Structures are given as structure tokens and as C-alpha cells.
Amino acid sequence: MSGKPSDSDSSLVVLWRLFGLLRSQRGWMLLGLAMALLSTLSGIALMAVSGYFITSMALVGAGGVAINYYTPAALIRLFAILRTGGRYAERLVTHEATLRMLARLRVWLFGRLVPLAPAALVELRSAELFSRLRADVDALEHAYLGVLIPLLVALVVILVVMATTVVYLPTLSLPLLLLFLLGGALLPVWMLRQSRVPGAIVVTCNETLRALAVDGLRGRAELALYGAEDAHAAKLSAVAARLRQAQRQLDRLQALGSGGVMLAAQLAVLATLLWGVAAKGGGLLAGPGLVMLVLFVPAAFEAIAPLPEAWAQLGTTLASARRIFTLADTPVPVPEPGPPSPPIDRYDLRMRGVRLRYGAQSPWVLDGIDLDLAQGRRMALVGVSGAGKSSLVGVLSRLYPCEGSITLGGTSFDAWHGDDLRAQIAVVEQRPYLFDASLRDNLRLARPEATEAQIQKAIELAQLSDYVASLPQGLRTWVGEDGIRVSGGEARRIAIARVLLADPPILVLDEPTEGLDAGTVTRLYAALDAAMKGRSVLLITHRLGGLAKLVDDVATMQQGHIIECLPVADYLNRLTLPETSPTR
């Protein structure tokens, strides 16, 4: 798995890597292919033998020599059974293989993405990129069923047809091969090329329509107030019309593709008839053979029919695979040292000259931070938005790489494995993520083995008791996308309960009161007070307010620097005009 795939990587390399990932499922994949071949070839053979059989019988009826009709009749029955049973088996086996791959792929991708989050994963921040990632994973999962199987089956069928014609009517081989290529490869590939422009228009138009829909909802008040509703509707119609035109082009191309395969099949039959009758006239081909070929050829084209779709999917699959591999191959931003993490007995945190920026050309967000947080001290870090406060959280949780030195209990951060470090330094995020799971599972996230009593205690300390009691299903209540909506304040308190369960010696709180109304904030203070007992605390906020009661020191941050660090009393005394002070 070396080498970073890029657009220049050949399609074969990407496909090879994709199926290489799924090497463990090779048995199932091959079995599925075998079943697909069995059922397809049986179907073709059924038609061919039937044609051969009835022509022979007709010749007998017309006064010819008696023949052994048991064998072809038995073959017809055999192929019918193989065709039917084979198709059923094919469906089951290919789906079994797909499901196995799906599980494997997701676990693989998850494992690759974990060390990248969040520093190297822009994808997860933008809704659009995220949904593209989702579509990419879906596309990869259907690569086997939608691309590999139809392409290989078609290939084998063409080979079988060629072999058969070489035996019965060698002159027919070339015209048939040309028609197969025309209907199964040239036409679909040409069609794909032609589809590129309208396809791109469809994508942009759909994005614009979505954006306009959001405008029509979020901006409805502005639209109504500024009398712009008609203009908005007109814009919508115009984009829809453009979309329609592009879709019309695509639909025509698709019709051309599928119609083209059918036309190729009919031309192939015609060609068979032409060469066959000529050969028959020349005594090179017997009647039964002629009819057999005429029935055999269109049956073979059934394996060609799915090709236009398969080619189209191959394109998306390759694009998806390239994107996914590029993402998965992103260098890990914060390399993990091997175990063990150093043993410590003090939890003093010390930062010296810590610098961080998000890109090689970007400005420094942290520009030489010197900060000491002695064990058990509580410090507030204040500063206007954009001063770099939240970036400090990323550095302290060892999710972002930084320059300078950070030590915990005298040991360098670099010697710590991230997970071990995060057991010492827990973070309450500004926007904690709640998973689509029960409330209990969300609480136990940092400590799955927590007992019921511990959970109850954490809930109580986080001031969540009333909230949990108000839920009809209590801790079993489902939260997240499929469950109840949780307000910002509730989510914050759930995150605090999470951290209380984890019981870390150092606690980092990122804007714990941001965006909450006064009542909620008051309740939160009690929760925070409980959470902070017996721990070192770094509390990050742009609005100190009542939080002043919870801390010992206040450090002020400005443009990536700590400009001062004072005991909280001194800090407050210095604010001569609290009414208009910028921190108020």
C-alpha cells in the first residue's frame, strides 16, 4: 500500500489496490463470478441447444434420418435448471461478497482516518465534502457487483462466442467481434465522453438548487421584506430549466447507449443470418448449426446489455477510489510514538514557544505561547475571537502538530501516545458531538466500563438530573439524528458528564457558556464547579463574566500570544469601566 494515488495513477493501479484491499474476500468474489458465468452461459446454451434441437427434429419430420433426441432434450432441461438455480445462487453469493467487502472497507477507512482527525480532515467539516465522501464509500461498495462482475462476464461470453463461431463459422467471428465491441465498449465509452459536460452541469445545477432552497428558507424573511420573492422564484425556474436541458441531453445519450446495444444485437443476428445462409449454401454449415447460431447470438448479447451502465459506474468508482485513497494516504499530522508513555507523578503543564499554523503559507495562529498551569490551578484564558484560543485546545489534546515544547509533569508531549495523553487532559468541546446512540452510550463514551452508580453521580454533578428525569425513556433515550434534539446547553452538560466519568487530572473547557441564555449559564456554572474539583483547569472564553468566580488566574491572549497572566482579583480590579469593557 505504498505510493500516493493521484489522477496520474493509471486506472488499473487504482483498481488493483481496491481489490487488493479486499484480498481476504477473494474466495467469495471468485465464487460469485463463477455463479454469474454459470447462469449466463446456461441461458445462452439453452437458446442455442433449443435452436439446434428443433431444427434437427424438423429435418427428421421432413423425412430425414432419425436422431438421438434424448441428449439435446435432456440438455435443454439441464440448462434450464442451471440457469434458474445459477441465477439465484449468483445473487446470493455476489451479495454475500459485497456485504463482506462493505464491512471490510468501512473498518479499513475508519482506521485510516482516525489518526488524521481533525487536523488533516477538511472533509468532515464541510457538509458538501462530507456527503461526497459518503457517496464515494457507496460507490466503492458497489464496485464488485456493478462493475467487476458485468465486465468479466461480458468478457468471458465474448470469448465463448468467438470460440463457438471459430468452430462452426469462422468467417462470422470478425463481424461479431466488431459488433460486440461497438455495442459493448465503443458506443458506451463515446456516450460517457459526451455525458461529461451535461453531467457536470447537472451536478452544479443541483448544488445551486440546494443553495437556493436554503435561501428560500433561511432568507425567506429578507426575500419577503425586500419584495424579492418573485425574483427568487424566477432564479429557481431558470436554474431548473438549465438542469432540465442538461438532463435531457444525458437521457438522450443513455437512450442512444441502450438502444445501441439492442441495435448491435439485431445487426449481429442479421450478420449471422447473412454469413450463415451463405455458408449453408456453400455446404459449410448444416441447418441445425445455422439456427443454433441465430438463437445463440442474441442470447449472448444479454451479457452485453449491462455494459453501458457498468462503464459509467467504472468511471465513478475510479474517481471515488482515487479520492478515498488520496484521503487515506494523507500523512498523519501528529505521529504517535510507540508505547509505553512515560510515568509521571505531577501534572504540571508547561508550554514554551508553542507555535501553530494551519498551512505552510498561513499566518501563525499560535505564535510563541508560554504558559504554565501548575497542578490544581484553575486558569481562564480570555481573548477576542480569532486570538487563537481554540487552536490551543487542539495542541493540548495532541490532535494538531505544533512547534515549541509542551511538557506534562516534566515529560515531553512527543513521548506520549495521544490516547494516553488524552486520558490525562480531557476536553469539553465547544460543540460536543452527540452520537446517534442512547444517552447512556453517549455518556459512557470516554469510559465504557462505568457503573450505573458512577453514571448517576456524573449526571447529578453535571446538573443533568432534571433533564434526564424529564425524558420519557431516561438514559435509554435515543439522541442524535434519529432521536431527540438536544439544545446547546444540554449537549455541553452531557459533555461535562462525559468528562466527569473519565475523571482526568487536567480539564480544558472551550467556550463553555458561548451561545447560551442566562438561565442555562447559571445552571452550567454549578456543573462546571463540580467538574473542576480537584483538577487543573484551563477555561477558554471570550467573555469571562460569571466564570471569574471559578478560576484562580486569568491569562489574556492576543494574536497568538499570551500578553499577560494575572491572579483573577488583580485582573478584575484593573477593569476600571466594567460597563463598556471589551471583555464584558
Partner 1 sequence: MTASTSSWLREQARPTHRLLALGVTAGVVQAVLLCFGAWLMAHMLAQAVLAGRKLHELWPGMVALLVLALVRFTLGLWQRRMTFEAGAQVSDNVRNALEQRVRRLGPDWAVQQASGDIVTRSVDGVQALVPYYAGYLPQLALTALIPAVILLAVMPADPWSALILLLTAPLIPLFMVLVGGVAERASQRRWSRLRRMGARFMDALSGLTTLRLCRATGREEALLAASGEAYRLETMAVLRIAFLSALVLEFFTTVSIAVLAVLIGFRLMWGTLGFEQGLFVLLLAPELFLPLRTLGTQRHRRMEAAAAAEDLITLLGTPAAETSSRPDSAAARRNTFATRQVALTFDQVSFGYEPARIVLEDLNLRVDAGTVLTLVGSTGSGKSTLLNLLMGFASPQRGRILANGKDLATLDMPSWRQHMSWVSQRAHVFHGSLRDNLLMAAPTADETRLQHALRASALQAVVARLPQGLDTPLGEHGQGLSGGERQRLALARAWLRDAPLLLLDEPTQHLDAATAVKVDIAIDALAVGRTVIRVAHRLHALADDARIAVLADGRIVETGRVADLRASKGAFAHLLAADRAA
Binding positions for partner 1, 31-50, rule CB under 8 A: 43, 46-47, 49-50
| Least Å from the CB of residue 435 to partner 1 | 5
| Least Å from the CB of residue 561 to partner 1 | 17
| Least Å from the CB of residue 122 to partner 1 | 13
Which part of the chain contacts partner 1 (CB under 8 A), choosing from 146-154, 179-187, 358-366, 427-435?
A: 427-435
| Of residues 13 and 572, the one with the C-beta less far from partner 1 | 572
Q: Are 423 and 476 in contact (CB under 8 A)?
A: no
Q: Are 511 and 541 in contact (CB under 8 A)?
A: yes
Which part of the chain contacts partner 1 (CB under 8 A), choosing from 181-189, 314-322, 402-410, 414-422?
A: 414-422
| Least Å from the CB of residue 100 to partner 1 | 6
**329 touches partner 1 (CB under 8 A):** no
| Of residues 8 and 126, the one with the C-beta less far from partner 1 | 126
| Of residues 237 and 473, the one with the C-beta less far from partner 1 | 237
Binding positions for partner 1, 466-525, rule CB under 8 A: 480-482, 498, 502, 513, 515, 517-519, 521-522
Which part of the chain contacts partner 1 (CB under 8 A), choosing from 61-69, 187-195, 402-410, 531-539?
A: 61-69
Spatial distance between the Cα atoms of 157 and 41, rounded to a whole number of angstroms: 7
Strands 561-567 and 553-558: antiparallel
Binding letters toward partner 1, positions 436-455, x by CB under 8 A = x--------xx-x-------
Residue 257, by phi and psi: left (phi above 0), alpha (psi -120 to 50) or beta?
Answer: alpha
What is the residue-wise DSSP string for 126-166? SHHHHHHHHHHHHHHHTHIIIIIHHHHHHHHHHHHHHHHHH
Name, in order, each residue with C-beta under 8 angstroms of 379's C-beta and a sequence gap of 6 or more. Answer: 373, 537, 538, 539, 551, 552, 553, 554, 555, 565
| Least Å from the CB of residue 60 to partner 1 | 5
Binding positions for partner 1, 141-170, rule CB under 8 A: none
| Of residues 13 and 267, the one with the C-beta less far from partner 1 | 267
Query: What residues are paired with 367 via a beta bridge?
Result: 355
Q: Are 297 and 60 in contact (CB under 8 A)?
A: no
Place of cell 487536567: 506
| Least Å from the CB of residue 21 to partner 1 | 15
For the record, the C-alpha cell of 74 comes out as 435432456
Binding positions for partner 1, 284-313, rule CB under 8 A: 287, 290-291, 294-295, 299
Q: Out of 32, 40, 44, 51, which residue is the one contacting partner 1 (CB under 8 A)? A: 51
Q: Are 356 and 365 in contact (CB under 8 A)?
A: yes
**117 touches partner 1 (CB under 8 A):** yes
Name, in order, each residue with C-beta under 8 angstroms of 18's C-beta and a sequence gap of 6 or more. Answer: 140, 143, 317, 321
Place of cell 443553495: 211
**536 touches partner 1 (CB under 8 A):** no
**132 touches partner 1 (CB under 8 A):** no
| Least Å from the CB of residue 23 to partner 1 | 17
**201 touches partner 1 (CB under 8 A):** no
Q: Out of 177, 185, 186, 236, which residue is the one contacting partner 1 (CB under 8 A)? A: 236
**59 touches partner 1 (CB under 8 A):** yes
Which part of the chain contacts partner 1 (CB under 8 A), choosing from 150-158, 222-230, 360-368, 464-472?
A: 222-230
Which part of the chain contacts partner 1 (CB under 8 A), choosing from 193-201, 207-215, 455-463, 562-570?
A: 207-215
| Of residues 17 and 543, the one with the C-beta less far from partner 1 | 543
φ, ψ (nearest 5 deg) of residue 449: -90, 10
φ, ψ (nearest 5 deg) of residue 558: -145, 125
**79 touches partner 1 (CB under 8 A):** yes
Q: Out of 31, 34, 120, 208, which residue is the one contacting partner 1 (CB under 8 A)? A: 208
Sign of CA dihedral 43, 45, 47, 50: negative
Query: What residues are paired with 403 via a beta bridge?
Result: 355
Spatial distance between the Cα atoms of 239 and 222, rounded to a whole number of angstroms: 21
Please count the residues of this chain forming the interface with partner 1, following the rule CB under 8 A.
Answer: 156
**106 touches partner 1 (CB under 8 A):** yes
Q: Out of 165, 341, 430, 583, which residue is the one contacting partner 1 (CB under 8 A)? A: 583
What is the residue-wise DSSP string for 62-109? TT------HHHHHHHHHHHHHHHHHHHHHHHHHHHHHHHHHHHHHHHH
| Least Å from the CB of residue 338 to partner 1 | 16
**179 touches partner 1 (CB under 8 A):** no
Residue 110, Cβ neighbours under 10 Å: how many?
A: 9
**124 touches partner 1 (CB under 8 A):** yes
Q: Are 87 and 332 in contact (CB under 8 A)?
A: no
